[in-house]
Amino acid sequence: MRLGRYETLQPIASGGMAIVHLARALGAGGFERLVAIKVMHPHIASEPEFVAMFLDEARLAAQIRHPNVVGTIDVQEEPLFLVMEYIEGPSLHVVLRELRRRNEKLDVGVVLRVLHDALLGLHAAHEQKGSDGAPLEIIHRDVTPHNILLGVDGVSRITDFGVARAASRLSSTRGGQVKGKLSYMAPEQFHGQDIDRRVDVYAAGAVLYEALSGQQLFKADTEAALMGQIIRGVMTPLRAAEPRVPQAISDVCMRALSREPNARYATAADLADALEDAARIAGTPIATARAVAAAVKALAVHEPPPAIPGPSGVRVVPPAPVSGSGQHAPLSGSGKRAAVPAPAPDVDESPSQSTSVGTLLAPAVPLPQPSAKRSWKLMVGVTTAIGVGLGVAAFVGTRPGDTEPAAQPAAPASAPSAPSVATKPAEPENTASASEPAPSSSTAAASPSASASAKKPVTTAAPGGNRPPPPSRTAFRPDDL
């Protein structure tokens, strides 16, 4: 899709409100940059409430400038979309899902680094002030593994302020409406009480619990049962669920998950500091960014972005598995990946075509060219088929009764008469047989008797001995054609 100076390449994430595309920004002098474009789903793009939330997200996120927050670059209308910094790397949700599939867990030091980075980004959002210097009082309200991105550089970032609450927010939450994911909500969010940044501290504790233990904090068959568990605050201590976690780190996590807001850490920065102290006491150092990058790379859950088409209009297929095939694109004779011509910029392609991963990464396999021997055989086969077809058509077009030459119209009176020969069965009464055209010269020479008999029309006697009137020159039966 072409959206102004932006061109989408492939979808990379989807949520309840919007879908996120990998795209490139185009500029003067051949400027190109990979970005992430967030586009609202069509079925909610016309709802004023969702449009206001979308604009709020753009306005709030654009004011937060921190290394651990995904930056917002631009916002456009008609259609409405948000342009964000592209972070190459998977979300924490994807990493944890792959680890569960392998029955493995992240190293404790790596988890501490990921949460430490996310907490610093959260604190920056909580502390953000407006242009007038007044605090914006931003509350994320959706701190989950889905919204923590693990970059290939080893730095983790918080993203998606779509349901954030702020004092200066344009849209307002309806009474009794709860926003966010149930499994990571604090108990006070279900009571309709005023909330503050400590609901984000609780959610960060729930993410820490899940990342270290490999399982969600609460599990239930229904949403009502899940809400009941959260409100009661009944949970298994982290160290009991995962014995490898040091007691000091488990204590910090369980305090962040306290049922009463006053018992939790007051800010996200306080929780980050507490994790640092607990790691030092337990002798478990927090991992470096390089260690996080190595852990993400080892899981191989992230596909590198496709190569950006160059000035020549050729897109080089990156060395990544083709979607669903598990194979790589074929190599050319020079040892480089085969090139696929990029679609023309002005071609109006459907979104399903222009943003399909499989379309962008499909290998360019040249069509097989027929050999000279195959071409000769093909020509002979086609010629034979045409000849047989013509013969069959000629055979089908000849009726058995048409082998006799056709008769001319009635001959003059002076013509010599010949015995009448009936070439067709007698027609019904009161019906005269139609005259037939004269035979060709070759046929007449081959059968003189037949030509002589054809000169006299064949008639059938009418009742009472009266002869029928001579047939008209235009009175003919279709069977005699």
**Catalytic residue set:** 142
Helix (H, G, I), strand (E, B) or coil at 23: strand
Query: What's the gap between Cα 214 and its chain centre?
Result: 30
Q: Specify whether the backbone of 309 is left (phi greater than 0), alpha (psi in -120 to 50) or beta.
A: beta
Helix (H, G, I), strand (E, B) or coil at 320: coil
Two structure tokens written together for 132: 């007038």
Which phi and psi angles does 339 have, rounded to 5°?
Answer: -100, 145
Two structure tokens written together for 352: 């399903």
Distance CA 69, CA 156 (A): 8
Distance CA 454, CA 410 (A): 9
Q: Which positions ≥6 away from 138 have C-beta within 8 Å?
A: 60, 64, 125, 126, 128, 161, 164, 165, 166
Distance CA 182, CA 187 (A): 10
Instruction: Spell out where 123-173 has E strands.
Output: 148-150, 156-158
Query: What's the gap between Cα 268 and its chain centre?
Result: 38
Helix 247-256, helix 268-282: angle, nearest 10: 170
Two structure tokens written together for 59: 């306005």
Distance CA 411, CA 36 (A): 95
Distance CA 108, CA 212 (A): 7
DSSP-derived secondary structure letter, 144:
S
